[in-house]
Amino acid sequence: MSNTVISLILGGGAGTRLWPLTRKRSKPAVPLAGKYRLVDIPISNCLNAEMYRIFVLTQFNSASLNKHIKNTYHFSHFSKAFVDILAAEQTPDNPTWYQGTADAVRQCLHHIDNFEFDYVLILSGDQLYQMDFRDMLQYHVDKGADITIATIPVTAKDASDFGILKTDDNGAITSFTEKPSQDVLAPWSSEVSDDMKTAGRIYLASMGIYIFSRQVLNDLLNGEPDATDFGKQLIPDAIEAATKVFSYQYEGYWTDIGSIPSFFEANLGLTDEIPEFNLFDESKTIYSRARMLPPAKISGNMAHTVIADGCIILASKLERCVVGIRTRIGNRSVITNSYIMGSDYYQTLDDIQRAKDKGRPPMGIGDDCVINNAIIDKNCSIGNGVIINGGKHLEDGDFEKYTIKEGIVVVKKGVVLEDGFELV
C-alpha cells in the first residue's frame, strides 16, 4: 500500500522562532544531534515506512537544504524512489510565493498530479519523532476517511499551545479549536488510553501530520482558493462540512522543535541515559549524508555526552553536551549543557597559521574555555579563555555575535570570539 502514497514535507516559513539558527539556512536544514539535519527526520520516517516518493517544499534560505538533499538521498537507477525539492516559484498564473501550508501544496499540485497515487501524506520539517506511517495509512483506509490527522494527547497546561480536536467514540473528529484558553478547555477532552488518562493527557493536539485522499485534497484546495493554511482554515472547514475527518492517536515521543528552547532541550535530551528519542533503533534508522570522516579523538572527563565523527577533543570536562562533526576543543576547557554544532570543513595547518598571523583564533573552541547553557553554531572560532555562562540571569536580546533566548546563548554561525571574551 505504501506505493500508493506521495509524501510532501513542508519546509516552513522564515523560521523566526529559531533565529539566529535560521539566519543563513531554512528550518529543515538546521543541524540536529551533531550529524543530522531536521529534514532527515520526516524523510527517514517515510523511508522506514517504505514510502519512497518524497517532495520537500522550500522557500526561504533554501540553498543549504537543497545541497544537503542533493548530496544525501541517492537511489538505484532501477528504483522509482526519489527525494526532490519543490521550490516556491512565480508563474504567469500565480505571481506570489507560498502564503501558507495549504497554499504551498496548492501551488505544487500540478507537479505531483503527473504521478499515480491515491493518498497524500503531508508532514512538517521541524519535528522530532519516529512514527510508522504505514499504521496511520492503514487506519485511514480502514476508517474510510477522507482526511486523517495524527494527534497526540497533551495536558491542560500544554493544550493552549496547540490546535485541539474533539472526537466521537469512533475516532471521527467533530470539532476543532485553535489554541484554546484554559477557561474554555474543559469540554474539549477526548477518549484516550488509560496511560494517557493517568498522566493527565486527555486533550488531543494536532501534530501537523495529515493523510488526504487524493480527490479530497484536490477538491478542498481548489474549492477554497483563498484558504492558505491547513490547520487554521481548510481542516476546520472540512470538519464543519461533515467531511470524514479522523484522529489517529499517537502516544510515542514527539516534539515540535520550532523554537530555540524546544530545539535546545530536544538535542540535550539525546544525552540522557535512556533518551526518549532513540537514535540506536536499527528498525527506525535516521538517514543522513554519509561522510568519510575519521573517528573522534577524545581525552578528558566526558559524561552524558554525544560526540559525532571527526572530532578532536582535549577538554578537561564535557557534561550533557552534543558535539557535532569536526569539532575541535582545546586543553583544559569545561563545557556543560551545550550543543556544539561543529564545522563544515577542517582547517589545514596553513589555514590555522594564517588565522594566528591575523590575530584570529582557529576554528573550534580554544584552551581554558568555560561554556554553559549555550548553542555554538557551525564554523565558529572561539578563542582561549572564553567564558559563556548562559542562564536566566541574562536578558533576552539579539546582538552582533550572539542571541540570548530564555537564558540560552546562541553564538551565530561563523562568528569569531576573541581570547578572553566573557558573557556572564
Check pLDDT > 90 for residue 403: yes
- For 163-203, the pLDDT digits (tens) are 899 888 888 998 888 888 887 888 888 888 888 988 989 99
State the chain's mean pLDDT as an integer.
Answer: 90
Tell me how far CA of residue 220 lies from CA of 70, 86, 207, 235, in angstroms.
Answer: 32, 21, 20, 9
Q: Which of these, 87, 89, 100, 7, lies nearest to 55 by C-alpha position?
A: 7
- For 24-34, the pLDDT digits (tens) are 888 889 999 99
Check pLDDT > 80 for residue 39: yes
For residue 331, give every residue at least 6 positions away whose Cβ sits within 8 Å of its Cβ, in sequence order, or none.
314, 315, 316, 367, 368
Angle of the 214-223 helix axis to the 101-112 helix axis, nearest 10 = 120
Q: Which stretch of 250-259, 304-313, 365-374, 385-394 has the lowest confidence by average pLDDT?
A: 250-259
pLDDT at 89: 64
Domain limits of the chain?
2-270, 296-423
**H or E segment at 36?**
strand 36-37
Provide the whole-model pTM: 0.92
pLDDT at 154: 92
- Tell me the fold of 2-270: Spore Coat Polysaccharide Biosynthesis Protein SpsA; Chain A (3.90.550)
Q: Which of these, 28, 10, 25, 27, lies nearest to 61 by C-alpha position?
A: 25
pLDDT at 90: 60
Task: Tell whether the torsion through CA atoms of 127, 7, 95 and 65 is positive or negative.
Answer: positive
Say if residue 219 is exposed, middle or buried (CB neighbours under 10 Å; 0-12, 13-18, 19+). Answer: middle
- For 119-143, the pLDDT digits (tens) are 999 999 889 999 999 999 999 999 9
Q: Which of 113-117, 125-129, 139-143, 346-350 holds the top average pLDDT?
A: 139-143
Same fold, 2-270 and 296-423: no
- For 67-78, the pLDDT digits (tens) are 899 999 998 888
- The answer to whether residues 342 and 311 touch, using CB atoms and an 8 Å cutoff, is yes
- CATH number (2.160.10.10, 3.10.129.10, 3.30.870.10, 3.40.47.10) of 296-423 reads 2.160.10.10
pLDDT at 94: 62
- The answer to whether residues 58 and 66 touch, using CB atoms and an 8 Å cutoff, is yes
Give the distance, in angstroms, between the CA of residue 106 and the centroid of all CA atoms in the same chain: 23
